[in-house]
Chains A and B, each alone.
Chain A
């Protein structure tokens, strides 16, 4: 009858597993009760429990222990993420399909806000490196500030960071915290008068040819200047081309719905491979959580300050809150800005401008991910 007690013995040998069940439970609670990124936090939460059960066969790996069979989660991780980063990249096709670049194309200077809102990434890299993280880990932690799960996964995996698990969990959890973190930071960085700035939205018709050429232009430019960003930007822009070409509506619809849902579902449960108690429960995880928050805050500050700077040189004033929408969390960051605008003045609708800044952040974060990979290649 000893075999019935094997599981209990294994828990006794590694009680950290129980802590991971609690963390998994918290993630499931946040997903269901608080509606925080449920599509990802729920599979991740359940996965955290699944991979931390004693003698769990789902994480079996014959290359580590020849007596084990290849577990389903190990298999998904090795094929879908480790071997080629296929899952996060494929998810970008769906995201590209969902994005309408119209608001950005009608006011291209909003693109600058997307670039400025990546400031937190670089400042966090400096801080993480000064604390003592090796440069590859510091860069992987900094990219949490991109507010872009797939980019964070891709960069951390490519750099072979030792903290892929905590980085993935923190990146996705903090994306859900955008509505809590950003309003406080924006209020600290702006005056009431600035938040009341009204902006006219010129809903001019963007020619179809322009909409088709835009993803091609972005792919070529970023491919030439930042070739390491090409896999991310390329997939994002391919998705957008599917949407805008007008002749592949069924493919576009599939990519936006079924395809994205399948990848998201698999990605969530696959990420849990990195949530095994021994690797996940460490003091470093707490530091990564703090640094991730720092990156988010300084991204928002960067975007807001850039909008203020642009106002010094521009006749048509920009509401500095739009800078906060320059982070990649799409469409949450744009919604936050719209809500804040309406709260200050019920007639002040900033949504379309915010969406423009937000989609520019989506492109900018993918490019920055590639730039970091390139820069680290130079310094390695």
Chain B
């Protein structure tokens, strides 16, 4: 407890600790937003691919139906 009270008393400006932890702050926040950005990008691309595949599948089915109707 005494150490802590002394720490409060000596709460001047420890530039080394501040620099260290500020590095922590910007690197941590940058990293989390990079991860999130990549996940959003991957989700968007996957959604796009899935939608395109669905559309192509529907188109193929329509064409197949049309050709069957013509043959009939």
Contact = CB atoms under 8 A, between A and B. Distances in A.
Nearest to B32: A115
B36 A115 contact: yes
B39 A207 contact: no
Contact of A364 (B24, B36, B38, B43): B36
A222 B54 contact: no
Nearest to B45: A217
B28 to A, nearest CB: 5
A375 B31 CA distance: 10
B36 A111 contact: yes
B24 A126 contact: yes
B42 interface: yes
A126 B25 contact: yes
B11 interface: yes
B31 to A, nearest CB: 5
A213 B39 CA distance: 11
B3 A132 contact: yes
A219 to B, nearest CB: 10
B40 interface: yes
Contacts of A375: 24, 27-28
B62 interface: no
Contacts of B25: 122-123, 125-126
B72 interface: no
A119 interface: yes
A117 to B, nearest CB: 10
Interface string B16-48: 011011111101110111111011101110110
Given A126-B25, A226-B35, A108 B11 contact: no
A194 interface: no
Contacts of B35: 221-222, 225-226, 367
Give the residue among A129, A139, A221, A283 with the most B Cβ atoms within 10 A.
A221
B8 to A, nearest CB: 7
A284 B38 contact: no
Interface residues of A, number: 45
Contacts of A218: 39
Interface string A197-239: 0000000000101100110011001100110000000000000
A328 interface: no
Given A115-B33, A226-B31, A368-B28, A213 B7 contact: no
The secondary-structure label for the interface of chain A is: helix
Interface string A69-106: 00000000000000000000000000000000000010
B40 A225 contact: no
Contacts of A282: 1
Contacts of A225: 31, 34-35, 38
Given A111-B39, A210-B47, A213-B46, A138 B21 contact: yes
Contact of A112 (B6, B21, B36): B36
Given A112-B36, A132-B4, A218-B39, A207 B28 contact: no
Interface of A: 105, 108-109, 111-112, 114-115, 118-119, 121-123, 125-126, 129-132, 135, 138-139, 207, 209-210, 213-214, 217-218, 221-222, 225-226, 282-284, 287, 360, 363-364, 367-368, 371-372, 375, 379
20 contacts: A108-B40, A111-B39, A112-B40, A121-B28, A122-B25, A125-B25, A126-B18, A131-B8, A132-B3, A132-B8, A210-B43, A210-B47, A221-B35, A225-B31, A225-B34, A225-B35, A284-B4, A287-B4, A363-B39, A367-B32
